[in-house]
Amino acid sequence: MTGMMLVLIFIQLNAQREYLPTPQDLEQFHRSKTYVVLNSNPMSDYNIEIQDAVKKYWNITDYEFLEFEDFGEKSADPGASFLYMATVNFEKDRSNARYVFLCLSIGGDYESIDDMKDVANLPLGYYGVDEDSYAYKLGTMVRFLQDHVRLINEHPEMVSQNVYKHYNDNMGDVRGKTLYLVQDELERSVSREAGIRAVYPYDVEIVEPEQIKELIMDGDESAVFLHKVGPEGEQMNARVYKILIGAADGKFYYFDFHKASAKNPDAFLEKDFKKLARANQ
């Protein structure tokens, strides 16, 4: 089954995923039981990887796996929270680009699933890409989401539209790590190691996606990999998310996005490497 066919059975959300959780929302979440919503295709890569990730790492609430067809009815339960995939577009985004997000939301008596309040969410991929491009990263995403919720619960003053930019405070820590990058996800001027070293002097390796999968599976504590979400050349002005993640612990070292354009292509940019280099000086 292709990625396009798979996204048709995701929850279709038109609302922007920019809701800011309140301390009351976080308290409600911590009291809840989290239902991990499965894809309606039982053999999908997502189902296999999310079940494995949750069984290994989820410890912030009690949890239970939920069949896709039961999600709508269960979503009205205020004692429930939900971890699920959704296709998302942003109300103020004139490009009308759509993305696949991993969402953590709390239930309640809303008119629709669209109206559920997000505790946290993360971009997984651009609408229509094969799910195998992000499914193997779900363990790191699950670990990050839990740590993030704990962090904003302890420091509610951090909650803002730019909450993930907090993690750019960790940029200096990549100096002792090796960045593992896929060539197709890099701007042309920095698509080879020599070009990268001209602007970023620390350890970098350009590898195939399969090698990043192995680093995650091995829990390599020295490895940081790039998770890029972009339109894959299909649409200008769409968001390009760029996240550097620790393979062993799901820690974010860098979070940013830009709008795809001729000047700033759908890639990790030379200017991103320069930001990292400055942070490490």
Looking at the fold, whether 91 and 174 belong to one and the same domain comes out as no
Looking at the fold, whether 253 and 144 belong to one and the same domain comes out as no
Looking at the fold, whether 54 and 170 belong to one and the same domain comes out as no
Domain-terminating residue out of 158, 189, 217: 158
Q: Rounded distance, CA 188 to CA 26, Å?
A: 42
Place of tokens 């069949």: 67
**Based on the number of CB atoms within 10 Å of its own CB, is 169 exposed (0-12), middle (13-18) or buried (19 or more)?**
exposed
Query: What DSSP assignment string belongs to 177-215?
Result: SEEEEEGGGB-GGGSSHHHHHTT--S-EEEE-HHHHHHH
Q: According to the model, what pLDDT value does residue 5 have?
A: 31
Looking at the fold, whether 169 and 88 belong to one and the same domain comes out as no
Rounded to two decimals, the pTM is 0.89
Res. 6 pLDDT band, cuts 50 70 90: very low
Looking at the fold, whether 7 and 107 belong to one and the same domain comes out as yes
Looking at the fold, whether 53 and 138 belong to one and the same domain comes out as yes
Q: Is the pLDDT of residue 189 over 50?
A: yes
Looking at the fold, whether 62 and 18 belong to one and the same domain comes out as yes
Looking at the fold, whether 21 and 54 belong to one and the same domain comes out as yes
Domain-terminating residue out of 158, 193, 222: 158
Average pLDDT (38-60) is 92
Domain that holds residue 197: 163-279
How, if at all, do strands 223-229 and 204-207 pair? Answer: unpaired
Looking at the fold, whether 205 and 73 belong to one and the same domain comes out as no
**Taking the CA of residue 72 as centre, how many other CA atoms within 13 Å lie in the half-sphere pointing to its CB?**
7
Looking at the fold, whether 65 and 135 belong to one and the same domain comes out as yes
**Taking the CA of residue 69 as centre, how many other CA atoms within 13 Å lie in the half-sphere pointing to its CB?**
3
Which tens digit of pLDDT belongs to each residue from 247-278?
A: 998 999 999 999 999 899 999 999 999 999 99
Looking at the fold, whether 207 and 95 belong to one and the same domain comes out as no
Looking at the fold, whether 60 and 138 belong to one and the same domain comes out as yes
If phi > 0 it is left, if psi is from -120 to 50 it is alpha, else beta; for residue 139 that is: alpha
Average pLDDT (54-70) is 96
Domain-terminating residue out of 138, 158, 178: 158
Q: Is the pLDDT of residue 150 over 60?
A: yes
The total number of structural domains in the chain stands at 2
Which tens digit of pLDDT belongs to each residue from 99-136?
A: 899 999 999 998 888 788 999 999 999 888 888 889 99
Phi, psi of 7, rounded to the nearest 5 degrees: -70, -15
